Structure 1
Amino acid sequence: MTEPAGPLLTVLVTSPRVPAGLLSRDAWTALGAADRVYAADLTDPVPAAVATSGIDVTAVAYDSAAQAARELVAAAANSSVVWISSPDADPGLTDALAGELTRQDDPPQIEVLVGSWDLPGARLLDAVAVMDALRSPGGCPWDAEQTHASLAKYLLEEAHETVEAIETGDRQHLAEELGDVLLQVLFHARIAADEDPAFDIDDVAAGLVDKLIRRHPHVFADGDAATPEEVERSWEQIKATEKPDRAETDLLAGIPASLSTLLIADKVLSRASRRGIPMSYGERRDLGARLLALVDEARASGESADALLRAELRAIAHSAPPSAAESGPGSVPDSDA
């Protein structure tokens, strides 16, 4: 049996997004060696898992962080004590412990022991839980009445705002807008969970993982694609296998009609290039052919005609002189006002 560690207060911090019993070896060692183990609520996942393992856990009810700090420091004066942090991380307790220890003539040692860590992407579990709460009974009445159709406009809006954040180079704005796009994914998946036939966010994620692995055999299997161009050709072959009903010469298949016309043109030209399909627009001089040629020129230079045009419009808007409506009395109002 492990000997007690002497006067020591260990604050055991764990991730609420990791299964409660999956603690580090150091955490289990500290729990087994402690004279006493305390927690605020024995029904919380980690205290419950520790108690199930055969280690006694005592509940310490407190009205304030200062009261909890006094009791824990007093308990650790002559023994080894482990405090299992609550899922909310016990707001204010760390500061209260620091204040209490400074008032002691001979304070016990204190250590913070991390018993489990979040994996990358763990906060996505929080986002799923929040979305579930919003759509469940007792949640938000507006969220509860939304449908796929009612949310469609927001998905488009958030996608466009994300593109704008990318093009303006505002990193903080981009992070926020990506969160808004993620919200739409979570929202639609949560709505679908209540439908028949149903699917949920795990089904969405599983489908995505399967597709990514299937379309990257050069990473996850024995495929061979060493350059971006080879990857794109591989994608075309894989997609052709996945969707055999699509004609090889149908360059518009699967492209949403609501997409920007410039983006559609870029995608069609890219497909034609990869599939070796000749394009005849260069033989004509009508306006449509010339526009398509400009899109191809941008694509050949590694740029997006759609993005270039938006950037030019922003530059014009920012450098434009005050409108006539703003130039003083007697001016002619802007026709768009």
Structure 2
Amino acid sequence: MGRLSLLVTSPRVAPGLMSRSAWYAVESASARLCRDLTEPVVDAVVESGLSVDAVGEELSPPELARLLVDRSRESDVVWLGSSDADPGLTDAIASEVSRLETPPEVEMVVGSWDVPGSRLLDAVAVMDRLRSPGGCPWDAKQTHESLAKYLTEEAAETVEAIESGDREHLAEELGDVLLQVLFHARVAEDAGDDADRFDIDDVAGGLVAKLVRRHPHVFADGDASSPEEVEEAWARIKAEEKAERSAR
């Protein structure tokens, strides 16, 4: 009796960066099957030198489940999951297996998973879609100046949410503030003048550098053992940075 392994990966992680157990399952299987050979994870497997066969493109979930279970009754089969998560397939496989007296072993193999902050990539992608040709005409015409009032409004509403104690509302308002950050960064990315151009990675990179620079007691050999000492060091470093900018 064989085994059916259902490979699940995160679309936010490079497709070849899979766990050791996932690669072992893929490499040791007698057959590697997928719905679409153009899927990124399939491409990564093929690039590694392994063969993958496309099946079930026109099959319904129950039909595909029957095919996969039948193939795995005699040998180990890996199903390389689609980016849409193959709606209905796992339920159909469970139903198909339940009707057999001696079903194959079925396992879910997690090849990769979202890391903290990975949904920020989705937010960047959505903003890119809105500002790109064929996106939203309102979003496409906005400028730093036209958006300025919304940044002020969203910041004020965030403060109100904090004061209200409603944490669900706070999460929503923080999302609105994040939208303004993404929006302004994308507007800057689209700037015609190179001197005015930056993108969301520049914003994030600048923030990381600032946080590291102003926390020498964490990232270097600085000494600050109390919140008051941290505030004092922050103000001093900030003043030094301002003086350096003025001297340029």
Please say if 1:65 is aligned against 2:61.
yes
Counterpart of 1:21 in structure 2 is: 16
> Deviation string for 1:253-284 (max 9, x for gaps)?
xxxxxxxxxxxxxxxxxxxxxxxxxxxxxxxx
**How has the CA–CA distance of structure 1 residues 226 and 102 changed in structure 2, closer, same or farther, with 3 Å as cutoff?**
same
Counterpart of 1:238 in structure 2 is: 237
Structure-2 separation of matches of 1:20 and 1:240: 45
What are the equivalent positions in structure 2 for 1:206-217 lying under 5 Å apart? 206-217=205-216
Counterpart of 1:83 in structure 2 is: 79
Counterpart of 2:50 in structure 1 is: 55
**How has the CA–CA distance of structure 1 residues 65 and 206 changed in structure 2, closer, same or farther, with 3 Å as cutoff?**
same
Higher relative contact order (CA 8 A, sep 6+): 2
> Deviation string for 1:134-168 (max 9, x for gaps)?
11111111111111111111111111111111111
Which blocks of at least 5 consecutive residues in structure 2 are unaligned?
none
What is the Cα deviation at residue 178 of structure 1? 1.0
> Deviation string for 1:28-70 (max 9, x for gaps)?
1111111110111111111000011111111121343222212
Which blocks of at least 5 consecutive residues in structure 1 are unaligned?
1-5, 248-337
Query: How high is the sequence identity, in percent, across the aligned residues?
Result: 66
Counterpart of 1:141 in structure 2 is: 137
What are the equivalent positions in structure 2 for 1:34-45 lying under 5 Å apart? 34-45=29-40
TM-score, normalised by the number of residues in structure 2: 0.93
Counterpart of 2:167 in structure 1 is: 171
What are the equivalent positions in structure 2 for 1:66-215 lying under 5 Å apart? 66-195=62-191, 196-197=193-194, 198-215=197-214
TM-score, normalised by the number of residues in structure 1: 0.69
Amino acid at match of 1:117: W
Structure-2 separation of matches of 1:166 and 1:17: 31
**How has the CA–CA distance of structure 1 residues 245 and 28 changed in structure 2, closer, same or farther, with 3 Å as cutoff?**
closer
Equivalent pair of 1:240/1:246 in contact (CA under 8 Å)? no
Structure-2 separation of matches of 1:28 and 1:106: 27
Q: Max radius of gyration: which structure?
A: 1
**How has the CA–CA distance of structure 1 residues 140 and 63 changed in structure 2, closer, same or farther, with 3 Å as cutoff?**
farther
What are the equivalent positions in structure 2 for 1:290-301 lying under 5 Å apart? none
Runs of 4+ with deviation above 4 angstroms: none
Number of residues of Structure 1 aligned to a counterpart in Structure 2: 242
Structure 1 range deviating more: 85-94 or 185-194: 85-94
What is the Cα deviation at residue 245 of structure 1? 7.7
**How has the CA–CA distance of structure 1 residues 59 and 245 changed in structure 2, closer, same or farther, with 3 Å as cutoff?**
closer
Structure-2 separation of matches of 1:59 and 1:123: 30
Q: Alignment partner of 2:25: what SS? A: helix
* Aligned-CA RMSD value: 1.6
> Deviation string for 1:176-234 (max 9, x for gaps)?
11111111111111111111221110000000000001111111111111111111111
**How has the CA–CA distance of structure 1 residues 246 and 22 changed in structure 2, closer, same or farther, with 3 Å as cutoff?**
closer
